[in-house]
Structure 1
Amino acid sequence: MNDSRRLGDCLDGQRFWEDVQSLASIGALHPKGIRRLALDAQDNQARLWLAEQGRALGCEAYYDDLGNVFIRRAGKDSSRAPFLIGSHLDSQPQAGIHDGALGVVAGLAVLRTLHDQGIDHLHPLEVVAWTNEEGARFVPGASGSSWFAGQRDYHEIASSLDDSSIRFSDALADCLDLLKEHGLTYRPKPFTPHAFLELHIEQGPVLETLGKPVGVVSGIQGVNWYEIEVKGQANHAGTTPLQARRDAFDSAHDLVSALKAAVFDQDDDLRFTIGKFSVWPDSVNTIAQRATFTIDLRHPSQTVLDALDARFHDLTKCQWGGCDVTLKVTSRVAPVAFPDSLLDVLHECARHYCPDTPELVSGAFHDAIHLAHVCPTAMLFTPCRQGLSHHPDEHIEREDAEVAARVLTDAATSLLG
């Protein structure tokens, strides 16, 4: 791309940042942060906000069977596959304002720049907000993008329950009714995109440490999610001797130690996290009858993930402390490597704004991990302070985000034709 054709230099940084703040007001927490759980009122309102912004630019707004929302700018050749840019609008329960949302607003900024500069392009351009990427309300996450990419069955997604026993399908029906009521077009079937780009905050410390405003993401490590249940026997805490107990908590504690020992000798790329742990009947003077916990296991190598998966299954086949154990795999997402052809485009575009742009692997999963199965896909990262995310103190610098959005704009211009 010649410097004279760099559309990213024309991006309105002030308006881009105003859109970031405007979206952050939907589901805002006091004194900072947001709460937009998938398919709740705030998440649905954010979808309508995106549709409204797109319509103001002359774009069509539509949705599909999973509530994924698209705003479409027509291309000169409507028969060509659309080029997609996007991320997600849902959040963790106590979240920062940039995770996911920044990528959607950056896509909107690309649309706005093309509109303001009167630029035509061959392929249609669509900005998408995928449904339930976080998995904070309905497990597993990335529901919209995984279904769109044919990686997950609709009925499996629709049957999942949140912590209040609300079914995904019921929450989705309310969302679809709202989108229809506000005049969005219904297009049920997925399609094969020309390509997909996603801009996201890094959610790690690398870019900030390097002092770089943007990084090119070469791929995403794989993720396995597990739920483990340990069943014992409730009894009186004061009268039951230690040797007579079937204590689900004690047994779960020992099992966790064994699981951690199984991953101890792996390399520094391995990530092992127990994010939820609960006991029942949850009484101060009652031995736990049941303990449940989750495991989030990540690594860039499928071979490593498979070996640890086998070891986890072996460890949970037997009793622990007289307690029965069951292991359920709730999600498997294989690692992906993004194509060199797209990485070369991103590096070329980034070089104009950030010489020696670093390349890194994503430790978090994103919607791009599923889109990579159906079309050329790649990502950009921008730094967040101290690598902090999934927290109201999540923070990015406006100048960094603008650089990343300009790189995204130039890459889109190059790929749209």
Structure 2
Amino acid sequence: MSVTDTTPELTIDADRLWSDLMELAAIGAYDDEATGLVGVNRQSLTDEDRAGRELLLSWMEELDLGITVDEMGTIFGRREGQDPELAPVLIGSHIDTVATAGAFDGCLGVLGGLAVLRSFDEAGLRPRRPIVVAAWTEEEGVRFGTDMLGSAVAAGRLSLDHAYGLTDAEGHRLGDELERIGFKGERPVRLDPPHAYLECHIEQGPVLAQEDRQIGVVTGVQSISWQKVTLHGRAAHAGTTPTELRIDAGLAAAQIIVEVRRMVDSGAYGRLRATVGHIGASPGLPSVVPDRAEITVDLRNPDDEDMARAEADLAEFLDRLPTSQPGLRVETAQMARTKAVPFSEAVQDTIETAAKDRGYDSMRIMSGAGHDAQEMAAIAPAAMVFVRGQHQGISHNPREYSTPEDCAAGIEVLASAVKELSA
């Protein structure tokens, strides 16, 4: 018999959840000139991240959770079950942000996890399995160049030494920054497989709003490839150097940008999406031909074979690029690479049933963004709850927004699913 048949319904304190989201968003808040709104810049292992972590710890202490911090700085808050020897149900997400964030990306999943534990306490419900809430380190990957980093090391895809050696744009090592902010923990980073992993997240896209559904049952995450391309040319006077004698790194960067868009528009690679998110050139002077340019190429595809063909064809284009400018040198470095990850059908069914029992319209949906759930799916049954966003689902932008009602709906579904899985 399902635990939902014999125990009272869990109630989420929607006002407290919203208050927590807004209080956390105040840490790293800044005035965004482009939107006229207040954004959030709380990148991983910065002073702002430390302040956010300390606030999270205070809320975990209020709930009397068993708190541990692993070697990657990931924070775990454990609510004991009737049988402490059983593998726990793990709820996770992140509180680090990109430089131009809103209040919801990642944070909803972590603070929603605490809201779920409050609801268990208020209902006097103690399931058989422990329940753990995790706040993973460096999910966004914007500072140290590798997304889902904390969960990737915990699941064993990346090594701890590799992670510690990563550096930011100023040359600061991740391991050193963990020590600096006081969150280089002692808990071994390799995670024992949980019974199940759940994550609630704002959709970061327009589908739920377009379909007028409150809840998304996430079927998996598409393949993601990040690479940095550095182009080495030759600086020259912009007025006196004939075009045919130039080795223009800026021109080469522009050719790559046009090529990746052509690849998408061609339709030859399935549902490929491609983005050049970073563009830099030196010496950066109006009267000098650039001698160096650096760009990042982000490729995403729900089909691994289509992704592999896109990567191979882009590599071939980069190999041919110097033929148009003899002397040009192209250097590439893979920043991140993950295959498409399907989520557990059983956990998806549990989420779908929870939404139906709560009276919410739901739909199955694949995630276009990467999430810690894809790393946990390698070691445990995992799935995600998506919450509807506003403004066409925009994210990584201060305009990112979900209503208090939709946030509460997602966490209510999360609570029901956790209750079922932890029984």
Pairing 1:11-160 to 2, within 5 Å after superposition: 11-30=12-31, 31-160=37-166
Q: How far is the alpha carbon of 1:244 from its aligned partner? A: 1.1
Gap change, CA 1:71 and 1:352, over 3 Å in 2:
same
Gap change, CA 1:305 and 1:268, over 3 Å in 2:
closer
- For 1:321, the equivalent position in structure 2 comes to 325
Q: How far is the alpha carbon of 1:33 from its aligned partner? A: 2.0
Partner residue of 1:404 out of 382, 399, 410? 410
Which amino acid in 2 is paired with 1:250?
A: L
CA distance in 1, matches of 2:28, 2:71: 24
CA distance in 2, matches of 1:131, 1:32: 24
Q: Secondary structure at the match of 1:264?
A: helix
CA distance in 2, matches of 1:111, 1:2: 16
Q: Compare 381-390 and 25-34 and name the one that shifted more.
A: 25-34
Aligned pair 1:364/2:352, yes or no?
Answer: no
CA distance in 2, matches of 1:304, 1:7: 47
CA distance in 2, matches of 1:135, 1:411: 29
Percentage of pairs with the same residue:
33
Aligned pair 1:394/2:395, yes or no?
Answer: no
Gap change, CA 1:367 and 1:3, over 3 Å in 2:
closer
Q: Secondary structure at the match of 1:36?
A: coil
CA distance in 1, matches of 2:110, 2:276: 30
Q: How far is the alpha carbon of 1:354 from its aligned partner? A: 3.9
Q: Is the 8 A contact 2:29 2:38 kept in 1?
A: yes
- For 1:302, the equivalent position in structure 2 comes to 304
What is the TM-score normalised by the length of structure 1? 0.94
Q: Is the 8 A contact 2:224 2:300 kept in 1?
A: yes
- For 2:228, the equivalent position in structure 1 comes to 227
What is the TM-score normalised by the length of structure 2? 0.93
Which amino acid in 1 is paired with 2:389?
A: C
Residues 54-82 of structure 1, C-alpha deviations (whole Å, 9 max, x = no match) = 12112111100000000000111111112
- For 1:278, the equivalent position in structure 2 comes to 280
Aligned pair 1:349/2:354, yes or no?
Answer: yes
- For 2:34, the equivalent position in structure 1 comes to none
Pairing 1:143-182 to 2, within 5 Å after superposition: 143-175=149-181, 177=182
Q: How far is the alpha carbon of 1:256 from its aligned partner? A: 2.9
Residues 64-119 of structure 1, C-alpha deviations (whole Å, 9 max, x = no match) = 00000000001111111121101000001121010000010110011111112211
Q: How far is the alpha carbon of 1:279 from its aligned partner? A: 0.8
Aligned pair 1:195/2:196, yes or no?
Answer: yes
Q: Compare 267-276 and 287-296 and name the one that shifted more.
A: 267-276
Q: Is the 8 A contact 1:138 1:162 kept in 2?
A: yes
Aligned residues: 412
CA distance in 2, matches of 1:117, 1:168: 41
Residues 126-185 of structure 1, C-alpha deviations (whole Å, 9 max, x = no match) = 00000001111110111100000111122222112112221111111123x3577xxxx7
Q: How far is the alpha carbon of 1:384 from its aligned partner? A: 1.1
Which amino acid in 2 is paired with 1:100?
A: G
CA distance in 1, matches of 2:330, 2:239: 25
- For 2:389, the equivalent position in structure 1 comes to 384
Residues 221-277 of structure 1, C-alpha deviations (whole Å, 9 max, x = no match) = 010001111111101111111111111111222233333333332367321000001
Q: How far is the alpha carbon of 1:327 from its aligned partner? A: 2.0
Which amino acid in 2 is paired with 1:378?
A: A
Residues 277-305 of structure 1, C-alpha deviations (whole Å, 9 max, x = no match) = 11111111111111111100001111111
CA distance in 2, matches of 1:356, 1:234: 59
CA distance in 2, matches of 1:392, 1:8: 35
CA distance in 1, matches of 2:111, 2:140: 17
Gaps of 5+ in 1: none
Which amino acid in 2 is paired with 1:58?
A: D
Q: Secondary structure at the match of 1:29?
A: strand
CA distance in 2, matches of 1:298, 1:26: 31
- For 1:236, the equivalent position in structure 2 comes to 237
Gap change, CA 1:350 and 1:79, over 3 Å in 2:
same
Q: How far is the alpha carbon of 1:317 from its aligned partner? A: 1.9
CA distance in 2, matches of 1:7, 1:214: 22
Gap change, CA 1:328 and 1:7, over 3 Å in 2:
farther
Let me know the Cα RMSD of the aligned residues: 1.8
Residues 299-355 of structure 1, C-alpha deviations (whole Å, 9 max, x = no match) = 111111111111122112231422121222211111111111111111100012345
Q: Is the 8 A contact 1:195 1:377 kept in 2?
A: yes
CA distance in 1, matches of 2:213, 2:197: 23
